[in-house]
Structure 1
Amino acid sequence: MDRMDDRGSSTAEFAVLLPAIALMLSLLLCLGVLGMRQIQVQQAAGAMARELARGDDTGAARARGIQLAGTSARYTVGNGGGYATVTVAKSVDLPVVGAVEVRGTARVANEK
């Protein structure tokens, strides 16, 4: 084999770059999951705050939040100063990063 022969060099380069590419794709997937969960908790907080602002009871609003964000989320409900305020927090376990908490808050003026 000649020293100037570069057969197999692209295979070696691919083998060196493959772990970096896999890590980048994994991080991209984790960011996508994190974004979806953030939207989920924000929508749950908004729906709960709207229900409370209309005058529904806390149990009905919490049921709506559980429907949208799940039972593993934590819900904080406040109704004072003419506003219904809801915060929904949820822990997301990402395979590469670990546990990350996403939080959504909504504040809606009471209709009554």
Structure 2
Amino acid sequence: MYMHGVKKIDQLRAFKEQNGHCNVSTLDARNKTLGGWVSRQRESYKKNSLSSNRIEQLSSIGFTWKERGYLWEDKFDELCLFEAQNGHCIVSTRDTQNKSL
């Protein structure tokens, strides 16, 4: 079980290097098992059943414990970039390049 966890952390580290975050979706067919493992780590953390060692390992690579926290931070970063490029934070609903904002 311990080696399985180490392998998954290594996979997560590689995922982060490629994608810039640790938020692996269970809907991504290429990373479905890793996404499931990430989800289980969050659930275990919520239930206080994750070891302090595992918490430390995941935190050290930038793991986001609350998925919504990651999404908020991601959108905030996008908005900051928009503001830097446009001088304001008012995103038009007709702006096709920034629909997600």
Query: Which structure is higher in strand share?
Result: 1
Q: 1 or 2, which has the higher helix percentage?
A: 2
Structure-1-length-normalised TM-score: 0.27
TM-score norm. by structure 2 comes to 0.28
* Bigger relative CO (Cα 8 Å, ≥ 6 apart): 1
Largest Rg, 1 or 2: 1
